[in-house]
Each structure stands twice: as structure tokens, then as C-alpha cells.
Amino acid sequence: MTSKPLRITNPLRITNLLRTTNPLRVAKPRRLIGAIAAAITAAATVLIAITINATPAVAAGTGTGYLRTNGNRIVDATGATVRLTGINWFGMETDNRTFHGLWANPPATWRGQIDRMAELGFNTLRIPYSGDALRPGATATSINTWTNPDLVGLSPLEILDRVIEYAGSKGMRVILDRHRPTAAGQTALWYTPTVSEASMIADWRMLAQRYAGNTTVIGADLFNEPHAEGTDPNGTGACWGCGDPARDWRLAAERIGNAILEVNPNWLIFVEGVSCLSGGNPNAWDGVPDPWQNCDWWGGNLSQAIEQPVRLNVPNRLVYAPHDYAISVYDRQPWFNDPNFPNNLPAVWDHFWGKIAKQNVAPILLGEFGSTLANPLDVQWLTTLMNYLTENGMSFTYWSWNPNSGDTGGIALDDWYSINQQKYAILQPHLVPPTGQPTSQPTTSSPTGTPTSTPTSTPTSTPTSTPTSTPTSTPTATPTIPSGGCTATYAIVNQYPGGFQAEVTVRAGSTAISQWMVSWTFANGQTITQLWNGDLSSNGASITVRNAPYNGSLGPSASTTFGFLGTWSSTNEVPTLTCRAT
């Protein structure tokens, strides 16, 4: 394992406080009389009925097929509204060139972490990457070869393939994010002297072609956090609407987005804002007041996107994706000092990006937002922000899953599996859980579920050899699920001399259940040394596992999984399981 790098973002941004908003006003029709009034009343009755009947359907989970936009909504192939409520899992943009946390111990295998995200209700993964991870010969590092033996020797792109496939099996969607030109760090512009715009487009087109036909991957977040550099009037950073092809992010987003859509017209194009519209930071020493409208967080300022929109050649593909952060990231944003805080915040968000959705121009996905919650005011910020997003039907991807984000921390704690309950309690009411079920199981898998505590013991050493064999398939026979009952399927997902890892999937029948119990008898002297996501009791070879407090309640056909580590000697046969439910 290498040291865990900190994510350092969002240095000083100077802005001024927004205090006003412009609510929509709808003119009232005149009252008419006599026969004309009666006719209009009858027509209005019909129109009201039509309006009620035409209320957009809301998709379960993340919907079906490719996603599109319709006004301020994201919709699926049936036209039903989809709300993306996701999370960022970073690492592929760093020197590791793959997801962070692959160094963790069970149950936080790579699949176990995805299972955890899905069970918590996150339905979308935003995956940052840099161009370095895509290069021929790129090597993924800091992978725990005992926890994730199936990733050993794979390239960063091959690991990405597996994550996408497994996330899709959970009903999750994936957004790819060009986070940096290289692993060296964030830049104000989308290109550098050594990484051209043409190179960036080539990377995007390669990814768009690689995942063409894969409805799990829904689109491209073109570039992370374009921002100002230098001081006005001599700024050299990313501007919006300044007309300079080398600095105008709006024009660059059009070029890059249209190039992607040429090879994959099914993708959504996610476009972030800038920080300051001019591309330069305000001059604090010139004695000239700076307009409050000009600057926001890096990537957050879309205040001119209605007047100067991104123009794509394929309609219904554009989603604006700003960022917003809290006091723990930078405490000098002027709106944090407003005496009306946090009630002033919706007006701030309206100005910089919320009006885009409120005026039905395009959907909003808040691509990054997060906090350590170390400052009590950040609790108010996050609570207000989540209510604002939900009330306005906006999508989001929280920053981040990773606990090693230097300025925000993560949802996951340092074991990459336990959860920061304070943050999750604020987010949970606003999540739309994925509803997909795995259609096929890979040859290896990992624990799922939501433990209330970290396992009390973890193997203290890694086996000296990579597993010499892995079962090529899990048992194919699944018993018929009785009404109101449950079934349990046992799979050996990793095996090495003297030890193995297994998982048991418990699935409800045609009616919901409130608790379950799985029992079996080992025939070959196997023992369990550690179990998660269940309550274990054993008597010699007889094993009984009951649900944990958090995973006993399952809807019709829903499933949960518990896993364990065990020992074996000469034979490791799959036992016959009995599942009982109430």
C-alpha cells in the first residue's frame, strides 16, 4: 500500500454576496362572462384533466435504456423521469491510475465497496480519470492482491471495465469525468503544453467507442473545474463567453462534446462552469469594486449559460454540472458570512446555476459537493443544499466515497466500508436507490451489506501465494422461491491453500420478508473464522446465520448478501443451504 494522497482543491476564490432573486410571476387570466366564460370553463376542465394525466412518470431507480434530456429533466428510454443520486469514487486520476481503496481488507473488496454504495442508495458512480491512466502500458498500483486477486495484472482500463460491468449489474449508472490532463494535478485550462485539446478529444472518443452500446455508461463530464488564473484584467484562465478559443470553456465544451457525439450520440454531455466569467481573479488592490455575479467555486459558475449556452449538434444531450462546497473547504465565500445564513443560500445557487433548471433550460447535476462537517455551519449548508436539490428535482454526485479526500473526507471511513453516519443521515432521505439486480455473476465476487461495525478481526498477514485456483462458476441451480419465503445461494469467490472466501445471497420470494435465517452443515471440516453482514452461530459443522439488524427486511424478489472467511483442508465442497423467512 502506498500513502494515501490528499485531494487539495478550491484555493482562494473571491466573490460577492448575492442577495436577490427573481421568482417567476404568472399573469392571472381575465374573467369572462356569459357563453364565452362557459366555453372557456369547459375547455379548462379538459385541459386540467389532460395536465393531470400527463404528469411525467418517474422511473424506478435509474430507468431503462439510454438517458436523454427533456427540458430540465433527465429521462430514460420510456420518457420517465430519472434522478441521478450518486457518489464520486476517485483514484484513476492520480498516480495510482486506478480506484483508491483497492488496498483495503475484507469486506471492502472492489465489489464489496460497490455493493455497499448500492445498498446505501447511491445509484450513480462519477469516476474521475486522467489521460495518464489511458496510455498504453499504464499500470494500476496499490492493489491488495489478497483482497482483489482478480485485478492483479489488469490495466487501469481493464479494471474500469470490471467496475462498470459490476456497477451496471446493480442497476447503477456511470459518468466518466476527465478530472485532470495528467496525474500531476488540476489545471485551469483543459489542455497543457504537453497535453493538447486534440489529445483530450482522442481520449474521449476512444472511451465513447469503448462503451458504445453499454447503457450503464451514460456520458462524459468533459473537464473538471475549469477556473480562473491570473488577475484581471490580465487573466489567463478559463472564461465563459469571452470568445477567445484558447480560453473560452463554453466554446471548448462545444468542440469536445460534439466530437464525442460523433462517435457515440447516445451519451449525455455534462458541462461544468468556470469560477470567474472573465477567466481572471478579481484584483483586490485596484480599489475597483468587483461585481458579485462574476465568481463562484471552481467549476461552479454557470451564470451566463442561459444567455450563452453550450450548443451541441445532437439535441437533448446537454446537462450542466456545477460544483459547490462548504466552509471546511474554503471559509471566505461571502455568502457564508451573511446574517441570513443558511436561508440566503438558495438565492446564491439560483444565480450561479439553479436558474437553468428553474427556467426549464436544461437539467442540473451537481457533480461535486462535500464537507468534513467539522464546522457546525456546514451541517446547515448540506441540509439546505440537499433540500434545494430535491425540491427542484436536480441530480447530484456527492464528493466522495473516498475517506482520503483531504478537504472533505468521505462517506466511507478509513476501512473503506464503515460509514460516516452524520453525513449519510443528511443524504439518505434524498437518495433514489438503484433497483437493478445482477443478471450474471462474475467468477469472483465479494461481500455486500451494511455492517454496524467493522469486523473485530482481520487477517494479519497476506497469504504468501496467490490463490492457485478459483472456482470457474458458482452453483447454477437456484431453488424455486416459495411465496413469502426465501432462497440462499452459496458461492466460493476466492480460494487459496488452507483458506477461502465465500458469499451467500439471500433472496426474498414474491412477498416481502422482515427477517431471514440460513443454515447448512459443512461436510469436509471447514470452519468460519470471520463473517460479516449477518449474525453467526455454530455447533461443530452446523452453521446458522441470521440477518443483521439492517438487512433483514427485503422487498419482493430483493436480495442481500453476507460473506465470510474460512479454512479448509483437502476438500471444499459447496454445502446445501436451507433458508427460512418471516
Q: Is 499 helix (H, G, I), strand (E, B) or coil?
A: strand
Yes or no: say if 164 and 176 are a contact pair by the CB < 8 Å rule.
no
- Torsion over CA of 375, 377, 382 and 383, rounded to 10 degrees? 130
What whole-number distance in Å separates Cα of residue 513 and Cα of residue 554?
5
What whole-number distance in Å separates Cα of residue 191 and Cα of residue 252?
10
What whole-number distance in Å separates Cα of residue 223 and Cα of residue 214?
22
What whole-number distance in Å separates Cα of residue 126 and Cα of residue 220?
10
> To which residue does cell 468521505 refer?
410
- What DSSP character marks residue 377? H
Buried b (16+ CB within 10 A) or exposed e, 32-43: eeeeeeeeeeee
Which positions are annotated as active-site residues? 225, 368
Q: Which helix (H) or strand (E) holds 529?
A: strand 527-532
Which residue from 406, 257, 421 is spatially nearest to 330, judged by alpha carbons? Answer: 406
Yes or no: say if 204 and 178 are a contact pair by the CB < 8 Å rule.
yes
Q: Which three cell numbers stand for residue 422?
A: 452524520
Tell me whether strands 124-130 and 173-180 are parallel, antiparallel or unpaired: parallel
Q: Between the CA of residue 29 and those of 26, 40, 46, 75, 564, what are the distances in Å?
A: 9, 11, 17, 32, 68
Indicate the burial class of 402 (C-beta count within 10 angstroms; 0-12, 13-18, 19 or more): buried
Q: How many other C-beta atoms lie within 10 A of the C-beta of residue 290?
A: 18
